[in-house]
Amino acid sequence: MELKPGLSALVTGGASGIGKALSLALARKGLFVTIVDFAEEKGKEVACLVEKENSGFHEKLEFHSAIFVKCDVTNPRDITLAFEKHVATFGGLDICINSAGIGNPVPFKDDQTDGTKTWRHTINVNLVAVIDCTRLAIKTMQAQQRPGVIINVGSSAGLYPLLLGPVYSASKGGVIMFTRSLTPYKRQGIRVNVLCPEFVRTEMGEKMDPKLISLMGGFVPMEMVVKGAFELITDESRAGSCLWITNRRGLEYWPTPAEEAKYTVRSSSSSRNDMISFQAPLGFQLPHNFKKLVVHTLSFHFRDSTHIINAPLKLPLESDQVLLKVIYAGVNAGD
């Protein structure tokens, strides 16, 4: 998707951190932006900054080029209203960035509560809300029948363990696998990708142990995160992609080829090098049965020498087999 004036984006967690940076970066491209956050004062400030950034692209507008919606992302009704207000204001949704996230306020080993205000809340904000927002974004994009991009903000802590924050790590791991499982929506023109940076200098990042930050190569520059997000938005080939961002290695897609090789499978008749990724075909459900053409008599008359039977579909397919999907289309000659 080309980032150009007139497109619109909804950004959760847009009042601070990565969400704020992405909101302003999109504004510099002339996009309309809805800032969704629980922090009202900061959110309104960012909305004003967004309007200043994109003011040069839009003259004599009859509406604001940026709006703020106060929202608790763990409240389904709040989220639904935020999406509805965005569409009512800007006429559609092109980009959704789910950036709202929190750390665990109490170390897991010290938490003696039922987790309602601690680890359960972390899961609800970091994972459940992302699923809910993604669901609503997809629904909105399907209704308008035009392409859309969804960027979920994960974390490198979802790719490998964060020993100091197991619940945070679990929540981000969930975001990553959820996003990677949404590849089939590309067939509908909707691409969902996930950003996985290491520590960025945000309010949450500043709370981490400086020694750990140093070991990881320092804070990842916000500019690198923005660059990664724009790459996922503009590269039409990217769907279900996970972009890992570190100071040590730069931008790199995960899994790496070495990691991907660990979970690929091959059919019994294929060679060792003829491997396939364990991934369902996109866009349709495989049938339980298929129609098989059987030749029962050698004859020049094809119809007389063959018949069709229903046979159970056994997976994986053999190397000499191919599965065809027949689609019938009608044409109205009067059109």
CATH number for the domain harbouring residue 256: 3.40.50.720
Global pTM reads 0.79
Using only the alpha carbons of the chain, give its radius of gyration: 24
- Strands annotated E in the chain: 8-12, 32-37, 66-70, 95-98, 148-153, 190-197, 242-246, 250-254, 289-295, 306-312
Same domain, 255 and 293: no
Provide the 3-class DSSP secondary structure of residue 81.
Answer: helix
* Angle formed by the axes of helices 129-144 and 76-90, nearest 10°: 30
Same domain, 63 and 128: yes
Name residue 83's beta-bridge partners. Answer: none
Same domain, 214 and 108: yes
Same domain, 219 and 309: no
Residues (pLDDT < 70) of the chain are 266-288, 315-317, 319, 325-335
Q: What is the pLDDT of residue 312?
A: 79
Q: What is the pLDDT of residue 6?
A: 94
Name residue 311's beta-bridge partners. Answer: 290
The CA distance from 65 to 72, in Å, is 23
Q: What is the pLDDT of residue 307?
A: 83
CA angle at residue 246 from 43 to 186, to 5 degrees? 70
Number of domains comprising the chain: 2
The answer to the question of residue 3 being in a domain is no
Q: What are residue 102's phi and psi, to 5 degrees?
A: -140, 165
Q: What is the pLDDT of residue 150?
A: 99
Residue that terminates a domain, selected from 260, 282, 304:
260
Residue type, 217: G
The CA distance from 254 to 68, in Å, is 34
Same domain, 329 and 206: no
Q: Is the dihedral of CA 178, 184, 190, 194 positive or negative?
A: positive
Residue that terminates a domain, selected from 214, 230, 260:
260
Residue that terminates a domain, selected from 260, 286, 313:
260
Same domain, 114 and 67: yes
Give the rounded distance of the alpha carbon of 101 from its chain centre. 15
Catalytic residues: 168
Same domain, 230 and 176: yes
The CA distance from 66 to 16, in Å, is 15
HSE value, Cβ hemisphere, 13 Å, CA-based, for 129: 29
Q: What is the pLDDT of residue 328?
A: 60
Q: What is the pLDDT of residue 280?
A: 47
Neighbours of 7 (CB within 10 A): 22
Q: What is the pLDDT of residue 185?
A: 97
Domain that holds residue 50: 8-260
Same domain, 242 and 214: yes
Name residue 313's beta-bridge partners. Answer: none
The answer to the question of residue 98 being in a domain is yes
